[in-house]
Structure 1
Amino acid sequence: MASTAPPMYTDTPLSLIHTPKFETGKDDPFTIEASHMALSHNSFIRGFNSIYQQAPRLQSPPDKSDFVGYCLAWVDCVAQHHHYEETEFFPNIDKAAGRQGLMDGAVHEHEAFYGGMERMKKYLQDKGADFSATELIAIMDSFKEPLHSHLKSEPPAIVALAQYNTPDTPIDILGIADAAGKKQVTLGFLYNTLPVFFLNMETVTFEDGMWHEVFPPLKGIAKTVMTKAIPVWHSGRWRFVSCSPEGVAEQLAV
């Protein structure tokens, strides 16, 4: 008798990316920041994949309504990440290096998938629980390749910034990233969006578990609050994530 249980999440249609530290064994600040970027991008990839895999399986209006909230949170999380890069992270890298446009390539890559993400957001806002899985997947297909290409190319670009780090122009890449990241977290973002990032973060098996309890840099009470307490709000939408609070890939909700 065939099982009717939902399937396990899988890394499709977008594949995960390896961190520069895993690939090279280096642990200089630029490699570490690029690796953190790769891990963040993998969370976006798992979010994309979890939407792509579950959309065709949804049937009931309550499920579809919660799912729309999950999809919109994913769009907002990715968009906010790139907004902070363009308004805080990249300009401060340029300032430290005494040069302009060092990450212009990444900005142009953002532009290649912004339109598709905006179409996805507007479609879901307009249709709500009446969305068509076929139409949603078609919109996602329209921007998945430029999105994936960017998510793969940006970490190596961060590693390459080391060439501009000199005694005369020191670039505190980790400090710049930390300061820029903190500016994007508002109360609304914390409760309405951020769980889609933390709960699509598989750390137990990825790259032999080398990032488990390392990134995201949350431990103890802070981790419990971010991965278990805050997701109590809008809990219906967070059931569609790909991973458990412990960082283990799990069975899909539908």
Structure 2
Amino acid sequence: MALVHNIIIRGWNSMFLQARKLKNADVPDFLNYCQAWYWFVVGHHDSEEAVLFPASRRQRVLRVLWMRMSKTAFHHGLAEMKSYIETGLATPSKYDGDEFVKIFDSFAEAFHSHLTNEPLKLVSLASYNFDMETTRDATTQHALQRYSTTDVLPILWYNLDTKYEGGIWEDFPPLPAPVKWGMVNVMGWWRSNWWCFSSCSSSLVEREELYCLRKEY
């Protein structure tokens, strides 16, 4: 879960840092990238609800922990972000980087708190004899099957730094190498004009500079 949260945070940072730097011609592609990030976050949440918090005798314990994480604190901000993206895609000339950044700022603190605290809360489930490894893998697989392989899933690949922490997570997510290669290099190519705004390259390492922050941009 912490790895997925890192991906989400890298995506957030890439959007926030480039939102005010866009050329008008790049607004639709950038907003499609942002929309993909939004649906990635929603899919991650839904997979947690479907797998991590199953209808079992442990449900009450898990849901108590979940409520303590105050997930609803940032739902309004995400909804506002979704609405702004949809408006901008319908009428790109209405896009305003300053206004978009204000939306990020409106729920940044609550969202960051959730992303950093949730893994720590879940670690405490060890005291309940909870099989976190199996559940983690099942949650990941549920999410991978839910996402569009061309329009949403590349958010994962293009914000996944496989060199993070010395490369110890290089095999995440647990997929056969040929499948992963195809998802990154074939499915990712289809919307490459979106993923150019991401924090990582198709080599799955962090970019030296974000697309809109390059000197030649």
TM-score bracket for the superposition, by shorter chain length: 0.7 to 0.9
CA distance in 1, matches of 2:21, 2:58: 52
Q: Specify which of 141, 157, 160 is matched with residue 201 of structure 1.
A: 160
CA 1:90 to 1:59, structure 2 compared with 1: closer, same or farther past 3 Å? same
Task: Give the residue type in structure 2 aligned to 1:193.
Answer: V
Q: Which runs of 5+ in 1 are unaligned?
A: 1-36, 166-170
Question: Of 197, 201, 214, which residue of structure 1 is paired with 2:171?
Answer: 214
Amino acid aligned to 1:47: G
Partner SS state of residue 44, structure 2:
helix
1:235 counterpart = 2:192: yes
Question: Is structure 2 residue 62 aligned with structure 1 residue 102?
Answer: yes
Q: Using the TM superposition, give the Cα deviation of residue 183 of structure 1 relative to its aligned residue in structure 2, in angstroms.
A: 2.9
SS at match of 2:119: helix
Percent identity for Structure 1 against Structure 2: 37
8 Å Cα contact 2:80/2:103 also seen in 1:
yes
* Higher mean C-alpha deviation, range 176-185 or range 138-147: 176-185
What are the Cα deviations for residues 146-165 of structure 1, in whole angstroms up to 9, with x where unaligned?
Answer: 11001111111121101000
TM (norm. structure 1) is 0.75
**Amino acid across the alignment from 2:155:** V
Q: TM-score by structure 2 length?
A: 0.87
Superposition pairs for residues 152-191 of structure 1, below 5 Å? 152-165=116-129, 171-186=130-145, 189-191=148-150
Q: Measure the CA separation in 2 of the matches of 1:246 and 1:218.
A: 16
Map 1:28-177 to 2 at 5 A. Answer: 37-61=1-25, 63-91=26-54, 95=56, 98=58, 100-107=60-67, 109-128=70-89, 129-130=92-93, 131-165=95-129, 171-177=130-136
Cα RMSD for the two superposed structures: 1.9
Distance 1:173 1:156, change over 3 A: same
Q: Decide whether the 8 Å contact of 1:106 with 1:150 is kept in 2.
A: no
The separation in 2 between residues aligned to 1:180 and 1:39, in whole angstroms, is 13
CA distance in 1 between counterparts of 2:11 and 2:23 reads 20
Rg larger in 1 or in 2?
A: 1
Q: Match of 1:5?
A: none
- SS class of match (1:46): helix
Give 1:113 shift. Answer: 0.7
Query: Residue 215 of structure 2 aligns with which residue?
Result: none
After TM superposition, give the deviation of residue 219 of structure 1 in Å: 4.9
Offset at 1:188?
Answer: 5.7
* Cα distance per residue 1:30-82 (max 9 Å; x no partner): xxxxxxx1111000000000001111110122x11100100000011011101
Alignment CA distance shift 1:38-1:185 (3 Å): closer
Match of 2:183 in 1: 226
SS class of match (2:48): helix
Q: Quick one: distance in 2 between partners of 1:189 and 1:44?
A: 17
